[in-house]
Amino acid sequence: MKKSNKTGFETDCIHAGQHPDKLFGSVSVPIYQCSAFAFDSAAQGAARFSGTEAGYKYTRLGNPTICALEDCVAQLEGGVAGLATATGMAAISTVFMTFLGAGLHLVSTGSVYGPTRTLIEREFSRFNVESSFIDTSDIANVKKAVKANTKLVYIETPANPTLAISDIAACAKIAHAAGALLVVDNTFCSPMLQKPLEFGADIVLHSMTKFLNGHADVVAGILVCKDPAVIAKMKGVLVQMGATMDPHQAWLVLRGIKTLSMRVNAAQENAMKLAIDIGKHPAVAWVKYPGLPSHPQFELAKKQMNGFGAMISFELKGGVAAGQILMDSVKVCTLAVSLGGIETLIQHPASMTHASMGSENRKAAGITDGLVRLSVGCESYQDLREDLMRSLDQIALGKAGGDSSQVCGI
């Protein structure tokens, strides 16, 4: 489907990048589960490899199902093209491998997804890549951190898991003045709630494992750009690394995107009410949710986001021990990492997703030992509220469990 200026986001989720199959008329994009594509002749094969004729050759280099997904997400983000990857980390690795090298410098959000930071500090540092991890929600920090050899400014907004929000337009201005690219991890928002390219970002990436797919059954990533030259450069690196996506993965994500707007709307409606209720519980020290006026960047969230999302972070007064009781008590919420699915997931970043950062780096990034990350899903709000309130009550009793017989019939 070609983009029409009149189509809404919900319509694009269902139709963008897709069309009925020309061979049999299948409404759903077919899964081209093959490694290679046959040529009509030796001349055609040579023409496709030389680039003088469009067409598919080998799935690592391109595949119709994967291309449909790339076109879909690129349209949702307002980019010129997309580049699907096997995982979210494959997307991140592709960006770093393409633009970083010996003697070059990266500026990044400090409370970034743990493995993103570990990749730079543990692996890329071996090749003399420099890095500065800072609080990018304070634009003065970004100005100070950028150097003559800075090649990338990399931000997560809202950040994982602190939900700190960075000014995309201001970061883009600073990055471009230094001759660097701005990369935005838009996983927490999805293109439904935030379009970083509209604010000056050069590259947007997603772990499509999360909101875009939304069903906890796929790992996948994607990169979207507004400059064809940037996407071409990254594709060259990606296909050499072999981190391309499988066609069946792509089909599953396309299926998930069709319900993106419905899922996000339901989840963020639950999240807003839960954030308010959780904040009233005596076991909770504070709650961070972009939709609460108490959030430090509430005004910025209203300016650059189209909704406040489904992610909540909150601090328990009892620290790690309290968090263990809470997580061992929930019955409707699922104790698991990841986020953005139809089910509500709860986890403890300091001991799980961000454990690899080390205690000092976590402390500097604002990831405290008592911080809990909640990815709110689409369950009945009343069931979620009762589950969390009952589980928070267990903290005062000093034990996990409690009577769960009234929760969803359990």
Of 402, 398, 410, the closest CA to residue 324 belongs to: 398
Amino acid type, 158? P
* 16 backbone dihedrals φ, ψ, rounded to 5°: -60, 130
**113 in catalytic set:** yes
Per-residue CA distances from 248 to 33, 126, 205 (Å): 7, 35, 20
Q: Reading across the β-sheet that carries 130-134, which strands appear in turn?
A: 81-85, 221-225, 203-207, 181-185, 150-156, 105-109, 130-134
Find residue 81's DSSP bridge partners: 225
Q: Give the residue carrying structure tokens 């030796």.
A: 42
**60 in catalytic set:** yes
Distance CA 316, CA 320 (A): 8
Question: Which of 12, 135, 167, 185 is flagged as catalytic?
Answer: 185
Q: Which two tokens stand for residue 130?
A: 């420099």
Q: Which helix (H) or strand (E) holds 72?
A: helix 64-77
Interacting residues of 260 by C-beta distance below 8 A, sequence separation 6+: 13, 190, 192, 211, 212, 214
Pairing mode, strands 221-225 and 203-207: antiparallel
Q: Are 64 and 34 in contact (CB under 8 A)?
A: no
Per-residue CA distances from 330 to 88, 99, 224 (Å): 28, 43, 37
Q: Give the residue carrying structure tokens 């307002």.
A: 78
**40 in catalytic set:** no
Find residue 154's DSSP bridge partners: 108, 183
Q: Are 223 and 205 in contact (CB under 8 A)?
A: yes
Q: Give the residue carrying structure tokens 């940037």.
A: 230
Question: Which of 60, 147, 173, 255 is flagged as catalytic?
Answer: 60
Of 277, 250, 242, the closest CA to residue 391 belongs to: 277
Question: Which of 117, 151, 195, 210 is flagged as catalytic?
Answer: 210
Q: Are 389 and 281 in contact (CB under 8 A)?
A: yes
Of 99, 108, 158, the closest CA to residue 134 belongs to: 108
Question: Which of 113, 362, 369, 387 is flagged as catalytic?
Answer: 113
Q: Give the residue carrying structure tokens 């909150």.
A: 314
Q: Which residues are catalytic?
A: 60, 113, 185, 210
